[in-house]
Amino acid sequence: MKSAILDCMDKGGWYDRQALSDLSGVARKKVDGLVVELVNEGLLVMRKARAFEFGLALTRSTAPAVRIEPTAKSKVTARVAKPTIATGPYRPEWTPMMAYGAYACSLQQLCEEMR
């Protein structure tokens, strides 16, 4: 839920609690608690204007990357991507088709045998 709030904010913009609730889709009561946690973590800055407004303290590029570990119930495991080795272009196996002339000739032979 915190990430939903942070994702909807832009650097340099100030948002009140209702605006954050509307932008992130999180309930207003939940936003009140999450905003306080984000301010305590140092991710948001608070200013007092007409009402309390909040802005980003960090840009996305300087924010630390968070790795989410799979839960015990999840069957997803963290894998390291292996580089692929380049090969030649894909060429499917080719088998020559029976030409129309050969088909017509075999049909003609069959008709002659039947007469």
Specify whether the CB–CB gap between 16 and 53 falls below 8 A.
yes
What confidence category does residue 64 fall into, taking pLDDT thresholds of 50, 70 and 90?
Answer: low
Stretch (H or E) spanning 113 = helix 100-114
Which amino acid would we find at residue 105? C
pLDDT tens digits, one per residue of 77-95: 666 667 778 777 878 787 7
SS3 call for 15: strand
* pTM reported for the whole predicted model: 0.46
Domains of the chain, by residue range, sit at 2-56
Reply yes or no on domain 2-56 having CATH 1.10.10: yes
